[in-house]
C-alpha cells in the first residue's frame, strides 16, 4: 500500500515539477523501487531521512545498555547520536562519513589519535565526567556491532 501511494505521488509530481531528489525513511520497498526501473533511469536521486537513522541508532544503543554488563552505554547514547548528526553534516562522501563515524569507536575508549586518523576535537581535560569504555569490554563490543552494522550503514548514509 505504501509503495503504491509513493509511486502515485512521485508520478504526479514528475508531471508537475522538475523533481531531482526524493527523501524518505528507510522503507525497503521504496528503496528498491528508487534503485531500479524508471525512477533510476530518470536520474531521480533517493536520499534517506537522517532523523530515522538517528532514532534507530538511539533505540539500538538504549536496548544494548539494558543488557547486563553494558549499562555504561547509556551515558554515551546522546553523544553517539550527536556524533552521527555531526558526521552526516560534515562528510562530503560516503568514505569520509565512514572514517568520521568509525572514529567513534576509538574516542569512546579515550583514544583520540590512531594510525589512520584522529578525533577533530581539541585536547580533553583529564578528570572529566565521562565514563570511558574499556576496549574489548562487553559494552564496547556491543557498541562496535551497532556502529558497524552493515544494514544500518546502508540505510543511513546522508
DSSP-derived secondary structure letter, 109:
T
Q: Which run of H or of E encompasses 55?
A: helix 50-65
Going by C-alpha positions, the residue among 30, 71, 72 that lies closest to residue 52 is 30
pLDDT in tens, 2-36: 889 988 999 999 899 998 888 888 788 888 888 88
Its pTM stands at: 0.78
**DSSP-derived 3-state class of residue 17:** coil
Identify the pLDDT of residue 75. 94
Average pLDDT (94-117) is 87
Identify the pLDDT of residue 133. 94
- Cα dihedral sign for 117, 102, 100, 103? negative
Going by C-alpha positions, the residue among 46, 41, 75, 49 that lies closest to residue 61 is 75
pLDDT in tens, 73-83: 999 999 999 99
- Cα dihedral sign for 88, 92, 98, 103? negative
Going by C-alpha positions, the residue among 52, 64, 56 that lies closest to residue 143 is 64
Amino acid at each position: 500500500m505504501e509503495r503504491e501511494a509513493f509511486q502515485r505521488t512521485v508520478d504526479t509530481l514528475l508531471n508537475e515539477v522538475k523533481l531531482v531528489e526524493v527523501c524518505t525513511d528507510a522503507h525497503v520497498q521504496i528503496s528498491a523501487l528508487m534503485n531500479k526501473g524508471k525512477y533510476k533511469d530518470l536520474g531521480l536521486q533517493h536520499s534517506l531521512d537522517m532523523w530515522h537513522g538517528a532514532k534507530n541508532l538511539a533505540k539500538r544503543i538504549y536496548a544494548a545498555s539494558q543488557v547486563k554488563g553494558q549499562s555504561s552505554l547509556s551515558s554515551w547514547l546522546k553523544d553517539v547520536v550527536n556524533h552521527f548528526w555531526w558526521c552526516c553534516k560534515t562528510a562530503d562522501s560516503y568514505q569520509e562519513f565512514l572514517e568520521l563515524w568509525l572514529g567513534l569507536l576509538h574516542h569512546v575508549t579515550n583514544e583520540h589519535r590512531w594510525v589512520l586518523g584522529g578525533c577533530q576535537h581539541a585536547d580533553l581535560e583529564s578528570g572529566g565526567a565521562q565514563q570511558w569504555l574499556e576496549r574489548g569490554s562487553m559494552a564496547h563490543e556491543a557498541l562496535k556491532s551497532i556502529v558497524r552494522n552493515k544494514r544500518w550503514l546502508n540505510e543511513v548514509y546522508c
